[in-house]
Amino acid sequence: MKKTLVLSAALMTLVGFSSFAEERTLIDFTTLKADIAIWPEDYDGERTENQNKRTIMDYATAAGASFSSEQKSLMKSSLALDEWEVVLNSSAQNVGSLARSVVKAAPVSENSKQPFAGSEVMGVRVVFPSGAYNANAKIVPPFNIPAYEPYSVADDNGDRQKAETAEGESSGPKYLFEADDPSDKASPAYGLVKNVGTIKKIAVTTMGMNFPHGLWVLISDADNITRRYFMGYLNFDGWKTLEWNNPDYITEVRTREIRIYPIYPRGEPFAKFEGFQITRDASHIGDDFIGYFKDVKIIYDKANLTSERDIADEDLWGIIGRRESARQALEMSRFGNKQVNRYVERQKMAVEENFTPSLSSDGDSNAQSNGGQGADAK
């Protein structure tokens, strides 16, 4: 009987240690399909679906009073795949590369053997310089993903509504870019995972095209520090999961440095997706790079063990709420100013593709042909 109790205690200890590690999908690009139309992408007036309802953000609050209510209603952006950007390093920037380096939604064939057949993944085109010098490009979201944006449901116009349960309590996750169900390991996040301690592993599902370039994942933390994680080279063909294993991860608990932090009011640590980085060596081929990405996953230690407490500390003191509200206001201000400036620049852009026909004195248009010469030109 005594031996049985000892074995049971040892088993419970092992289960306790294994429960510290969690696996989560940090971001799944198949969930970022454009499914609502905020403004016409085509200038013929047709409303094209161009934003993702789940991740849409309204930056009209950062716009000045000079904008009309109609203009402010269009000041929205999301993590829809076509909204992501390619940022080239300074030595790789030229007019052609900047214009042709883009991110697009890439449909996966229905006949694919992958479990995500028929979905849309992230497709990336980067135009590297052909000269013999190093270059790199970052694939980043259209805005810095807010870590403290409260969750709410958006309608088909991109306006967020306060979601209520039958009991009148707020439903859904606490933060907008967390998973729909943070307690479900299979529920993918939208670039934000809370309660993250030490990261043990990172995995990226990507389709290689035999390019010799290197792939890095960029992840930031609650201290606003962004770290690069080298995933490997893309010199393979087909779908593959590239993994980074933390070389400094200590599996033996007795050799770990134990640090004790106050449980309250310390903020909850998090991991936030900042993008990819593609590095091209000077000795490798330049010009076009094509890549496809499905998701990013992490295995990590919990920063804090969640448990029921006798007193609701935050309800009583509200310290974390005030801190996070201040951070959220700062994040929205930075995001809004950038997006408003882009909106103004978009409004100034020329939309005409061709010249209007010239009219003769009787009101008829003169046909132009032969490279702009008259129809009778020899």
Confidence (pTM): 0.81
Q: Please check whether residue 260 is in contact with residue 266, taking contact to mean a CB–CB distance below 8 angstroms.
A: no
| Predicted confidence (pLDDT) per residue in 224-277, tens digit | 899 999 999 999 999 999 999 999 888 777 677 777 667 777 777 899 999 999
- Count of CB atoms situated within 10 Å of the CB of 34: 20
The answer to whether position 7 is within a domain reads no
How far is Cα 10 from Cα 366, in angstroms, rounded to an integer? Answer: 92
pLDDT per residue rounded down to tens, the chain (378 residues): 344 333 333 333 333 334 457 899 999 999 999 999 886 555 455 678 889 999 998 888 777 777 777 777 778 889 999 999 999 999 899 898 999 999 999 999 999 999 999 999 999 999 998 888 899 999 999 988 988 888 889 988 888 887 554 444 444 457 899 999 888 888 999 999 998 989 999 999 999 999 999 999 999 998 889 999 999 999 999 999 999 999 988 877 767 777 766 777 777 789 999 999 999 999 888 889 999 999 999 999 988 776 566 777 777 887 877 877 787 777 777 777 777 777 777 778 777 778 888 776 665 655 444 444 444 544
The bridge status of strand 135-140 relative to strand 270-280 is antiparallel
Provide the token pair at 124. 């990336």
Cβ neighbours of residue 45 under 8 Å, at least 6 residues apart? none
Run of H or E residues at 374: strand 373-374
How far is Cα 58 from Cα 72, in angstroms, rounded to an integer? Answer: 9
The answer to whether position 358 is within a domain reads no
CA proximity to 264, closest of 325, 323, 322, 313: 313
DSSP letters of 34-83?
Answer: --B-SS-SSTTS-----B-GGG-EE-GGGS-TTS-HHHHHT-EE---GGG
The answer to whether position 331 is within a domain reads yes
What residue type is 20 in one-letter code? F
Cα-based distances in Å from 358 to 44, 64, 145, 220, 354: 21, 40, 49, 56, 12
Query: Would you say how long the chain is, in residues?
Result: 378
Provide the token pair at 80. 């829809």
The answer to whether position 107 is within a domain reads yes
The answer to whether position 31 is within a domain reads yes
The answer to whether position 354 is within a domain reads no
CB contact burial 179-204 (16+ within 10 A = b; e otherwise): beebeeeebbbbbbbbbbebbbbbbb
The answer to whether position 67 is within a domain reads yes
- Please give the residue range of the domain that contains residue 165: 18-305+313-349
Domains held by the chain: number: 1
- Count of CB atoms situated within 10 Å of the CB of 335: 21
DSSP letters of 226-253?
Answer: EEEEEEEE--SEEEEEEEEE-TT----G
Cβ neighbours of residue 108 under 8 Å, at least 6 residues apart? 114, 116, 117, 118, 119, 120, 121
* Residue 37: CA count within 13 A, CB half-sphere: 9
Provide the token pair at 344. 């103004």
| Predicted confidence (pLDDT) per residue in 33-70, tens digit | 999 988 655 545 567 888 999 999 888 877 777 777 77
The answer to whether position 365 is within a domain reads no
